[in-house]
Structure formats: C-alpha cells, structure tokens
Chains A and B, each alone.
Chain A
Amino acid sequence: MTETTDTLFQLGKLAETTPRERSNWAWLRTLWRSKPAVLGSVFLLLLLIGALFAPAIAPYDPNDQAFEFLQAPSLAHPLGTDDLGRDLFSRIVFGARVSLFVGASTVLLSSLIGVLLGLLAGYYGGWIDTIIMRYIDLQWAFPNFIIAVYLVAVFGTGLENVIIAVTLAFLDDFARVVRGMVLSIREREYVLSARALGASDARILWRHVLPNATAPVIVQATVSVSYAILAEAGLSFLGLGVKPSTPTWGLILSDARTFISRGWWLAVFPGLAITLTVLSINFLGDALRDIFDVREYQEEEGGS
C-alpha cells in the first residue's frame, strides 16, 4: 500500500472508534454507595408506583366530597379531609401523577429542544450560533420561573400550556450546557479525522458529538427536573396552572390557605410531598454529579 492510503486507513480506524469518556455501567455501582442517593431513589420509586397505580392505592376518590369536612388526620383518613370533605391522602396520591408527569415531560422536551439548539449553535458556529445564543442569553438573564409565569400569561392556563411554558422556560440551561460541550468536542481528533474522511455533518453529530455530550445533559436534567416540579407547583399555587378539577399539590396548597387556622394538615402534607420529592431528586442528582465529575466537562465555561 502507498503511504497515503496507509494514513487514510489509520485515520479511518481512528474515526470509527469513538472513545467513550467513561465505561457505561460502572456508575451504577458507585451510585449505590451513596446513602442519600439510595434513599432518594427508593422514595422516587414508591412515588412512581403510587402515581401509576393511584386508583388502586388511594382509598377514596379524590374528588368525592362525601366525608365530613376539616377532619384532622385519623385512622379512616390518614391525612385528614379538606374543606369540601375530600380525603387528603387520596388527593395527594393523585396529585403525584400531575407533578411527576409535568416534571418528566417538560424536562424531556426541554432537553431535546435544548440539545438540538446547542448542537447546531456549537457545531456550525457563525450566524446560526449568534442568533441562537443571543436569544438564549436573553432568556438566561431571567429566572426560569418568571419566564414560565409570563408564558402562561401569553398562552393561557391548563395542563398543555403549563407544559409548553415550563419547557420553553428551561431551554436556556440545556442549550448552554450542550453548546459548551460541543465546542470542545468539535476539536477532538476523532471528529477531525471523521471530517477528513468526508463523513457528513449529520453522521458526525449523531455518532461522534452527541454520545459524548450526553453526560452533562443528564446532570442538567436532574437539576431541571426538581426546578420544573417546583415551577409547576408554584404556577398551580398562583392559580395559573392546571384546571382546578385536577388535584395537584400546588393547587391543594393554594386551597389550604383560607383554612390555615382550622386545618394545619391541609397545608403541611402537600408541601411535604413536594419537598420530599424534590429532595430525593436532589440527592440522586448530587450523587450522579459526583460520579460524572462535571468539572471535567466544563473546560469551555471559563469566559461565560
């Protein structure tokens, strides 16, 4: 073989073996060692089961106003009843559905869109980068919750609009994180050699850039999920969330306000549910962050 084809052959081999930055399943074992993370995961699992099988687990219908109102926690009603005679425990169990659903779907959508934007901006640079990042920087200057409130003002209330609003509000975090990663990955040998071999942009993005950019996205996702759940609760609390017929934790808290002096359980338990959920996610996320050691991925973040 001639020298040129020999070099090309070597380059080809280099391009085909995209190095993974970490081995795939070792992190699970390290996760297991952190006690808070384990506690958090257990709680989240229970919550998930509770949300999925709510009709089976909740002792009563959450909207059934048959019982005596404002009863303190008792054997029949472990968390008490509210001012309209509804069982609080059932309402909280059903409320888990909305909160988890909104939290998961908004982060999923937001990460997908954010990753796309970050990929395009980081990889192509130039005017695409400028346009996208100017907008993202604009959004980044404001707290995500206020953006969500404002978007609900524009689109209206209701479940779909809340999901849209929260998804859009949390885009800035994902886009920035991904763009930073892409900027550094772009210059690595395996990408350069793939380009030299004439691989299309799409193939490079899909096979080389994306797999190595996922770690910080996962870390960011765990952070954003907790804020998304808090955002949904806040929106519902303010009356800007889902329709009043669906029990969601924020809404239950909002109703509880008028009866604070007569029914402390109405205010304490929904808030406790939110807090424990977010706490578990934070424990889990913190452990994941320690594992992935995000600082290693933040080489480009210095100037921003």
Chain B
Amino acid sequence: MKVDLTSPVCLLTKLDDVAWLWHARYGHLNFRSLSDLGSKGMVEGLPVIRRIDQVCDGCALGKLHRTPFPQASTYRAQANLELTHGDLCGPITPSTPGVKSYFLLIVDDYSRYMWLELLATKDEALVYFKKIKTAAEVESGRRLKVFRTDRGGEFLSIAFYEFYKEHGIKRNTTTPYTPQQNGDVERRNQTVVEMARCLLKSMGVPGKFWGEAV
C-alpha cells in the first residue's frame, strides 16, 4: 500500500487564522492572555480567541528560555556507590608545595560520603578516579555503578572511556553548559572551598596550604 504523506492540513484553519492574526497584532502575546482579553471583555473589538497549541516560529526564536530546574532530584540512590558524582575544581592559585593546583571531588549519592584528591594537572583525573574507586569498592564491598560528571575534557578522554567500558561503569554526563545537573557535587565543591578558606583565613595560614585544609 502506498501512502502519500502530505503536510498536515488543519481543518480549523479558518478559526486559527483569526487567532494567529491577533497573536501577531498583539505583539506575539501568548494565547492564554489573548483568550482572556477576549472572553473577559477586557478590551473592545477583539474577537474571542480559542486557545491553540501550535508553535509560532517568531515566538520560538524570540522567547525560548531555559527550562526551570527541579528543586529536588527525583532519583536518589538506594545503596552505597550506586551513583557517584564527580567534578574537577581548579586551577587554584597558589599551588600547594607539592605543585598541586586542582582537586577531584567525588560524592557518593547515597551516603553523601566524599573523597578528594589533589591533582597537579587535569589529565591525572583518571589515575585518581581509579584510586578512589578501588578504595571505595574495597571499603564498602560494593561496585561503583554510575559515575556522573560534567562534560569536562578530562572525563571524556578515550582513556576514561576505555576504563568505563572495561569496568562496566555507566557514564552520566550533564547536558552541555548545565552544571545544575551536577548540582550535588558542584554545591559540595563550594562547601569544600569555603571551609578551606575559612580554616586558612581564621588562623592566618598561608594560602599555599589549602591542600591540607580541603
């Protein structure tokens, strides 16, 4: 059977034409407001406009904004190491006496237990991830299942990918430029840095000792 696919034709085009016309005339006002104006008699000379659920190109181009982020995540891990969040923070100046200027922070979603390693360069992330993962797995007797990070180059490297594949770790990455999706670890980053700063400042310890305070 051959089906001719043509562009869909709306049978209520006639009605819609009026709606679209007034939508355009009213400066692309949204249809809910348009229909309110007409139905509640707030203005004169405006026909009652039916609400329609079609997308206006102009509105899509001109009005699209970021979708709001949920206030609380819908999913929480049910056991240790089921889901972990990771992030790299830095470079922090001055570097430590051991020339470390980054830190890798990994948070377990279930227990909120954290691990932190100091890094000299970003490419050391994999080495220290392995270290933390192995230690945590031995400690808890469970396997790390999901590792959620942002799309930092250090987490997307081929070496990292190979490691994920080899150990069957499911990789979750945030949508680009959406650190909100990695909020767990991002917020903790902030807490860690704040605490380190407080510790150093309150006792007048030089900044290069931040590695000891985090």
- Say if A and B assemble together: no
Interface residues of B (CB under 8 A from A): none
